[in-house]
Amino acid sequence: MGKVHFIGGEKGGVGKSMTARVLAQYYIDHERPFLGFDCDASHGTFSRFYQEYASSVVVGDDDSLDGMLSAVEEAPDRDLIIDLAAQSAQSINRWIEETDVFGLLNELGIQVVWWHVMDDGADSVTLLSQVLTRYALQPVEIVVVQNKGRGDSFERFVASETYQQALAYTATLIELPRLHAKLTQKIDFNDSSFWAVANDRRMMNIAERQRMKVWLRHAYAQLDQVPGLGR
């Protein structure tokens, strides 16, 4: 079954693009075909780091958004990874509802996976509850990403009613490990893919390349838990 991954979280700075990028690298390293779409017009991090795989989409422009559905029809052998911009939920949800995007993808035999990337703040928990409520009756698989790079303590989330709501939904809960701060900054300045960081001796020293490999190994172990991804 093909998959369309919506990488959301609504809140800015929680690591949506980081999640999209590591998922893209996971697909590349596992030799799985995909197409990427970057909905962040102001920053475009996903398309900047993976420009060979990701193109830009204008949220609020239905023709632009419709292009993602056209890609499903034209390249049925490729999964989609869609990096949603912060504070784009209203426009995206309107497009989804007016077009019945989930119903259409379900008819085509394509699984919708909605990724909610969160930090350890209260806003992320509230936004997750809204997502779980909105898609309760939809054929949507939910993946909750607790980003350790954006928070050290998720105990309050685990103790919340929203956590129980996620369990009742049978959402998949994973963690994105924290990446070394100086390495993260160096990656940003080099506009580098994770593969290049892990392998290019001209770009990173041996310790930095090793840190990248270790981080990817831990991140991939988490992604392996997502139904339909792990082998």
Class of the CATH domain delimited by 2-178: alpha beta
Q: How confident is residue 50, by pLDDT bands cut at 50, 70 and 90?
A: confident
% residues pLDDT > 70 (the chain): 98
Q: Which residue has the higher pLDDT, 129 or 191?
A: 129
The 10s digit of each residue's pLDDT in 128-181 is 999 999 999 899 999 999 999 999 899 999 999 999 999 999 999 999 999 988
Residue 186 above 90 pLDDT?
no
Task: Give residue limits of the domains in the chain.
Answer: 2-178
The CA distance from 105 to 90, in Å, is 20
Could you tell me the two tokens for 209? Answer: 């390349």
Q: What is the pLDDT of residue 41?
A: 65
- Predicted TM-score of the model (pTM): 0.93
The CA distance from 61 to 8, in Å, is 18
Could you tell me the two tokens for 14? Answer: 């929680």
Q: What is the pLDDT of residue 57?
A: 85
Strand ranges of the sheet holding 110-118, from the earlier edge strand across to the other edge: 54-56, 34-38, 79-83, 2-8, 110-118, 140-147, 172-176
Q: What is the pLDDT of residue 43?
A: 65
